[in-house]
């Protein structure tokens, strides 16, 4: 078990890499020591900006005994390329969402972790908010009674320039899809973490607001859960000016609504002491998403995930969001895509 601080590296130098670097900088147990990117110029620039060394390769990171954990922030369809050798060599990996863009690639990453002994953690910071955890506790305790409707909405906006700025955004090969796999996956994960995976989905998608985009910018899916409850997932980057991530959980004994990280509705047939406190805004920095601007994301959720992985390595325990958990959101997204392409309901591969 390594001692604090845990040495971190970052693979990839896109926008989200800066969020990881800031998260590491503000962590009490982590220290950024290296970065690697195929673009040598960008790698050197990132290293200078964040005060670490520019590594020559992934093998360079593997050979460095001062690096215990690596944040993988490459395009989604290249996550396995970086994560597999690192995990196989016993390095810990904090992998950006989604874990990969196919279940085959996800399972290769999981196998590398299992066989090599590296610890794998996923980036789904929306699970960490006070509001999400209060909602999870209420669901698990049965306060909603029989669940009837469990839904997630990510009606965001991205300008055409967002997709034009990169050769991989909105592509099937490297982004794994569009609004659902990239932006909507946080809400997909949060919903399935709260109430479990649906057994069956039926969906439609389209590309409405972005010229030349390969994948979808608008998707709507109906969900059927094993317990009989139903739901909806709507994800889009075509909705100007954008609305905050919204989760609705409704049963025959209660209704709750989560907006980003804040509960805005909390109504139950049987009130309990402290219910009024649930609607109180959380103290401290919040976990915000990029409703209309991808750069508006806060680093607070990532800081907590970095802190958790560092502490997990020091204490020899699993991280809060292990790799097998991160697989579930990918399985649900892929089932929705399958249904939209085939025009038929699809089962979710668990």
pLDDT tier, 248 (very low <50, low <70, confident <90, very high otherwise): very high
Calculate helix-pair angle for 185-195, 323-342, nearest 10 degrees: 110
**Taking 80 as the threshold, does the pLDDT of residue 45 lie above it?**
yes
Residues whose CB falls within 8 Å of the CB of residue 342, separated by 6 or more in sequence, listed in order: none
Residue 223: band (very low, low, confident or very high) from pLDDT cuts 50, 70, 90: very high
Of 231, 177, 153, 245, whose CA–CA distance to 199 is shortest? 231
Residues 119 and 299 sit within 8 Å (Cβ to Cβ): no
- The CA distance from 194 to 305, in Å, is 19
What's the confidence (pLDDT) of residue 293?
Answer: 81
First to last CA, the chain: 32
C-alpha distances (whole Å) from 231 to each of 40, 175, 193, 278, 327 are 46, 26, 14, 24, 21
Residue 313 has pLDDT above 90, yes or no: yes
Sequence-ordered alpha helix ranges (H) in the chain: 15-25, 40-50, 58-63, 79-88, 103-116, 130-140, 160-164, 185-195, 275-278, 300-315, 323-342
Express as a percent the part of the chain with pLDDT over 90: 92
Domain residue spans in the chain? 6-125+299-322, 127-267+275-292+330-347
Average pLDDT over residues 319-323: 97
CATH hierarchy code of domain 6-125+299-322: 3.40.50.720
CATH topology of domain 127-267+275-292+330-347: Dihydrodipicolinate Reductase; domain 2 (3.30.360)
Residue 283 is predicted with a pLDDT of 73
Q: Is there a common fold for 6-125+299-322 and 127-267+275-292+330-347?
A: no
- Residue-wise pLDDT tens digits, 166-209: 999 999 999 999 999 999 999 999 999 999 999 999 999 999 99
1: pLDDT strictly greater than 90 = no
pTM: 0.95
Of 2-11, 129-138, 139-148, 289-298, where does mean pLDDT reach its minimum? 289-298
Q: What average pLDDT is seen over the chain?
A: 96
R_g over Cα of the chain: 20
Rounded distance between C-alpha atoms, residue 245 and residue 248, angstroms: 10
Q: Band of the pLDDT at 292, cuts 50, 70, 90?
A: confident
pLDDT above 90 (res 13): yes
**Average pLDDT for residues 207-223, to the nearest whole number?**
97
Could you tell me how far CA 99 lies from the centroid of its own chain?
A: 8
Residues of the chain above pLDDT 70, percent: 100
- The predicted pLDDT at position 61 comes to 98
Average pLDDT value for residue range 283-298: 78
On whether the CB atoms of residues 185 and 270 are closer than 8 A, the answer is no
Partners of 262 in the beta sheet? 259
Is the pLDDT assigned to residue 78 strictly greater than 90? yes
**At residue 295, does pLDDT exceed 80?**
no
Read off the pLDDT band of 40 (50, 70, 90).
Answer: confident
Per-residue pLDDT at 281 exceeds 90: no
φ, ψ of residue 104 to 5 degrees: the values are: -60, -45
């Amino acid at each position: 078990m390594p001692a604090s601080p845990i040495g971190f590296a970052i693979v990839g130098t896109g926008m989200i890499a800066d969020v990881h670097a800031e998260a590491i900088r503000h962590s009490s147990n982590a220290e950024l020591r290296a970065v690697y990117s195929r673009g040598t110029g960008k790698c050197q620039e990132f290293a200078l900006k964040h005060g670490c060394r520019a590594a020559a390769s992934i093998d360079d990171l593997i050979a460095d005994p001062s690096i215990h954990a690596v944040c993988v922030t490459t395009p989604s369809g290249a996550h396995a390329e970086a994560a597999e050798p690192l995990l196989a060599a016993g390095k810990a990996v904090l992998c950006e969402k989604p874990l990969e863009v196919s279940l085959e690639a996800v399972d290769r990453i999981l196998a590398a972790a299992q066989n090599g002994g590296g610890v794998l953690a996923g980036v789904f910071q929306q699970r960490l908010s006070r509001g999400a955890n209060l909602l999870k506790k209420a669901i698990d305790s049965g306060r909603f009674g029989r669940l009837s409707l469990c839904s997630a909405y990510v009606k965001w906006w991205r300008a055409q320039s967002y997709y034009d700025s990169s050769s991989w955004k909105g592509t099937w090969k490297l982004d794994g899809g569009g609004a659902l796999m990239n932006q909507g996956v946080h809400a997909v994960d949060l919903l399935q973490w709260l109430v479990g995976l649906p057994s069956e989905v039926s969906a439609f998608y389209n590309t409405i607001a972005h010229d030349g985009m390969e994948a979808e910018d608008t998707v709507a899916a109906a969900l059927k859960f094993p317990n009989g409850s139903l739901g909806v997932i709507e994800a889009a980057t075509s909705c100007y000016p954008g609305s905050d991530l919204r989760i609705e959980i409704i049963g025959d004994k209660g209704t709750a609504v989560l907006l980003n990280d804040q509960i805005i509705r909390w109504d139950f047939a049987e009130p309990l002491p402290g219910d009024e406190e649930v609607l109180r805004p959380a103290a401290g920095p919040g976990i915000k998403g990029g409703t209309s601007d991808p750069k508006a994301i806060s680093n607070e959720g990532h800081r907590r995930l970095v802190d958790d992985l560092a502490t997990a390595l020091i204490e020899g325990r699993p991280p809060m969001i292990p790799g097998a958990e991160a697989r579930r959101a990918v399985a649900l997204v892929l089932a929705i895509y399958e249904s939209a392409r085939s025009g038929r309901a699809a089962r979710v591969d668990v």
